[in-house]
Amino acid sequence: MKLFSKIIFTSSFLVLNLNAQVFSVFLENDVINGDDKHYTNGTYLSYLTNKDTNNSSKYNNSFFDLISKIPTFNNDTKYQTLGLTYSHYAFTPSDIDKKEKIIGDLPYAGVATLDFILFKWEEDFFHEYTITLGAVGPSTKTDSFQKSFHNTIGSTEPQGWDNQLKDDFLYNFSYSYGYRALKHEFSYGKMDLVNTIRANVGNYNRSLMAGTMIRYGNNFPNNFNSVGKFIGVNENKLLNLDSKTNKNLGWSLSYGLGYSYTDYFYVNNHDKSYELDELKDSLVQVISLDTYLDKFVLSFSFKTSKINLSKEYNQNENWGGINIAYLF
């Protein structure tokens, strides 16, 4: 874990030395269900750099020279953006009143990760490359965070964190491609549709995902309003936010549908003693309301999905999210 901390510090310093274009805070929680179960909470902090980092001569930096050579299958992208996301996830079983280990339901687990992101893009498509480094287990301090949060809001304190998954190192690589398949302007307002595919490999998550999201609104930026990941922050929506050049209020309402095939997810599959079924096929639906005013973005989202954990636990999962972003 000490090596992990050194890698995180060094890499974070490299990225944060750049002038960040966007800073974002995203909170996701299953409080909308009225109780804690499975993926119960996520906290995410994101930075994206300026889009002109594709101009390596301007920065005279060997690191930029290296990443500028990373190929794409069309090799004609105009822009390059670097990103960094810190993520903190909390997972619990459905019954948080029991102290003993619950066979057939998701284990207690805390996960903390850092994503190093490279976007190569134009106005209507993007390639996203992500390297994820992280940890699972007591070292993430997720149990203390959740207990403190529950005490603050007067909710039931989870009793089974003594059974949480042990400390382990996590790593992953993902690639995502998205494109704007449709855009149209009306006498009032406009709409667009963004399709995405995503592949994840590593010891944390091995999966494939495809999704589409349609948006209608007025005076919104030409950002990539995609379905994003199955859980967690959607950095695609932070890309190209500065394409909205006026300070007037903009808004949009979106609906998205995604399909995910999961071969392996650490929290679900690592400890075989829980006797959980493999996740395999899952569908996720996303509804999002986004507002844009000057340099600020405020977004509310609702996700619902059916996840098959075992014969005893097969039900819909719902999460609500709020995102605040600021453009520098």
Contacts of 296 (CB under 8 A, 6+ apart): 324, 325, 326, 327
Q: In whole angstroms, what separates CA 59 from the centre of its chain?
A: 29
Residue type (1 letter), 66: L
Q: What is the pLDDT of residue 223?
A: 96
Q: What is the pLDDT of residue 31?
A: 72
**Beta partners for residue 254, in sequence order:** 215, 288
pLDDT for residue 11 is more than 60:
no
> 268 vs 114, 284, 310, 315, CA distance in Å?
20, 18, 10, 15
The answer to whether the CB of 212 falls within 8 A of the CB of 244 is no
Structure confidence by residue, pLDDT tens digits, 138-150? 999 999 888 777 7
Structure confidence by residue, pLDDT tens digits, 164-223? 999 999 999 999 999 999 999 999 999 999 999 999 999 999 999 999 999 999 999 999
Rounded to an integer, what distance in angstroms lies between the CA atom of residue 71 and that of residue 120?
A: 9
**Percent of the chain residues past pLDDT 70, beyond the cut:** 84
Q: Assign domain 2-327 to its CATH superfamily.
A: Outer membrane protein (2.40.128.140)
Q: What is the pLDDT of residue 311?
A: 54
Q: What is the pLDDT of residue 34?
A: 65
Mean pLDDT to the nearest integer, 26-55: 82
Token pair for residue 172?
């992953």
Specify the residue for token string 């006026």: 246
Higher pLDDT, 66 or 258: 258
pLDDT for residue 20 is more than 90:
no
Q: What is the pLDDT of residue 157?
A: 82
Token pair for residue 264?
């392996």
Rounded to an integer, what distance in angstroms lies between the CA atom of residue 317 and that of residue 307?
A: 7
Per the prediction, the chain carries an average pLDDT of 87
State in Å, rounded, how far the first CA of the chain is from the last one: 33
Q: What is the pLDDT of residue 7?
A: 47
Q: What is the pLDDT of residue 3?
A: 46
> 69 vs 15, 65, 72, 133, CA distance in Å?
18, 7, 9, 23
Confidence of residue 15 (pLDDT cuts 50, 70, 90): very low
Q: What is the pLDDT of residue 255?
A: 99
pLDDT for residue 19 is more than 50:
no
Domain spans in the chain, listed from the N-terminal domain onward: 2-327
Rounded to an integer, what distance in angstroms lies between the CA atom of residue 264 and that of residue 167?
A: 18
Mean pLDDT to the nearest integer, 232-238: 96
Structure confidence by residue, pLDDT tens digits, 46-105? 999 877 655 555 556 666 677 777 777 766 788 889 999 999 999 999 899 999 999 999
User: DSSP assignment, residue 52?
Assistant: B
Half-sphere exposure at residue 100, Cβ-oriented, CA atoms within 13 angstroms? 3
Q: What is the pLDDT of residue 107?
A: 96
Mapping DSSP to helix (H, G, I), strand (E, B) and coil, where does residue 230 land? coil
Mean pLDDT to the nearest integer, 275-292: 93
Specify the residue for token string 């310093």: 13
The answer to whether the CB of 182 falls within 8 A of the CB of 213 is no
Rounded to an integer, what distance in angstroms lies between the CA atom of residue 237 and that of residue 271?
A: 34
